[in-house]
């Protein structure tokens, strides 16, 4: 489990992460979203002890990263797929990691096979495409068979088969009871992969919700004769057709119960799900730090 307790990080006058508290639990794929500059990478670096927080604490299994005796056996991470010595082979890169953690070399061959890198493992890492570098980085993250996995933009450079592979892998690892924390800007892929979403904006926590709850946010459609009393009671109701209201905020159950209490006949009552992209844009509106100017 990863626990963030009031984590704040300032660089001079700039606040990159602002009083962030989270608990990322086992058995769940948690997606990490936010505009550029929202503080996602800084948060991940703090978890790994690469940056020290100005205030607060980041714990992995109840301990800071620097206190883990063999960290790769506790948390596997990929932050930069190209952070590999370019003249070292993929296999030698993983063997060096294994040696530092007393991990048997047999495990190196296992993760090379798991990530589809066995045939390319003898080549210099500097010759790898971005997709191959991502696979090698994921192999490194899996090397210690850790209980926690943290990946920053792992699908960058992967072909469609690779994207489907990483999606299946992450779900499988969470299904084994591991904690999986993954960032991505690919909304459609995150929608298919994550069970829960954490969204940052300008360093602050905007949302921490199950995926299904975020996708339910577009509203509720209710259709029937004489719905005017319902429209008067629900402030966020608007007419979207003859005898049809769309309500934002309440759940289907709440709207149905209210209609019943008002003695109204209802011919249709359904939730309108939005895409993750639509929900994300609503959440982060006003929190985009590097927005483009229309021309």
Domain co-membership, 81 together with 116: yes
Whether 216 has a pLDDT exceeding 80, the answer reads no
The residue among 159, 179, 210 that closes a domain is: 210
- The per-residue pLDDT for 295 is 46
Q: Is 203 left (phi over 0), alpha (psi -120 to 50) or beta?
A: left
Q: Apex CA 29: angle with CA 115 and CA 64, to 5°?
A: 90
- Per-residue pLDDT tens for 87-135? 999 999 999 999 999 999 999 999 999 999 999 999 999 999 999 999 9
Domain co-membership, 8 together with 42: yes
State the average pLDDT for the chain.
Answer: 91
More confident residue, 123 or 277: 123
Whether 288 has a pLDDT exceeding 80, the answer reads no
For 249, the domain range is 215-277
Residue 293 lies in a domain: no
**What's the distance, CA 82 to chain centroid?**
21
Whether 265 has a pLDDT exceeding 90, the answer reads yes
Domain co-membership, 92 together with 14: yes
Look at the chain and report how many structural domains it folds into: 2
More confident residue, 292 or 102: 102
Domain co-membership, 153 together with 261: no
Residue 295 lies in a domain: no
- The per-residue pLDDT for 2 is 96
pLDDT band at 211 (very low <50, low <70, confident <90, very high): confident
Torsion, CA 72, CA 22, CA 44, CA 108, rounded to 10: 20
More confident residue, 156 or 257: 257
Predicted model pTM: 0.80
Residue 183 lies in a domain: yes
- The per-residue pLDDT for 14 is 93
Mean pLDDT in residue range 70-84: 94
Which sign does the torsion angle of CA 111, 117, 123, 126 carry?
negative
Residue 264 lies in a domain: yes
Domain co-membership, 187 together with 59: yes
- The per-residue pLDDT for 275 is 74
- Per-residue pLDDT tens for 151-207? 999 998 888 999 999 999 999 999 999 999 999 888 888 888 999 999 999 999 999
- For the chain, the C-alpha Rg in angstroms (whole number) is 23
Residue 292 lies in a domain: no
- The per-residue pLDDT for 218 is 66
Q: Apex CA 206: angle with CA 281 and CA 211, to 5°?
A: 70
Q: Which CATH number belongs to the domain containing residue 241 in this structure? A: 3.30.70
Q: Strand ranges (DSSP E) for the chain? A: 2-11, 14-24, 28-33, 55-60, 75-78, 148-152, 179-183, 196-201, 204-210, 219-223, 237-241, 244-247, 268-272
């Amino acid at each position: 489990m990863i626990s963030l307790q009031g984590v704040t990080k300032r660089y001079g006058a700039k606040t990159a992460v602002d009083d962030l508290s989270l608990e990322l639990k086992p058995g769940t794929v948690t997606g990490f979203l936010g505009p550029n500059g929202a503080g996602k990478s800084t948060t991940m670096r703090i978890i790994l002890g690469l940056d020290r927080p100005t205030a607060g604490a980041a714990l992995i299994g109840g301990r800071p990263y620097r206190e883990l005796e063999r960290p790769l056996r506790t948390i596997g991470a990929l932050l930069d797929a190209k952070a590999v010595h370019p003249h070292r082979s993929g296999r030698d890169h993983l063997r060096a990691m294994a040696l530092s953690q007393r991990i048997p070399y047999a495990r190196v061959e296992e993760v090379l096979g798991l990530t589809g890198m066995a045939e390319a493992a003898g080549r210099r890492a500097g010759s790898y495409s971005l997709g191959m570098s991502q696979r090698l980085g994921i192999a490194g993250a899996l090397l210690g068979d850790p209980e926690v996995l943290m990946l920053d933009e792992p699908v960058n450079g992967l072909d469609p088969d690779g994207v489907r592979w990483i999606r299946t892998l992450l779900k499988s690892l969470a299904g084994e009871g591991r904690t999986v924390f993954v960032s991505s800007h690919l909304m459609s892929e995150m929608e298919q992969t994550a069970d829960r979403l954490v969204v940052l904006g300008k360093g602050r926590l905007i949302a921490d919700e199950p995926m299904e709850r975020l996708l339910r946010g577009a509203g509720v459609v209710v259709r029937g004769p004489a719905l005017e009393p319902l429209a008067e009671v629900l402030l966020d109701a608007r007419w979207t057709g003859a005898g049809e209201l769309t309500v934002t905020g309440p759940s289907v159950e709440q709207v149905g119960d209210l209609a019943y209490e008002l003695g109204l006949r209802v011919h249709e009552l359904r939730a309108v799900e939005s895409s993750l992209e639509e929900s994300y844009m609503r959440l982060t509106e006003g929190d985009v730090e590097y927005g483009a100017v229309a021309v």
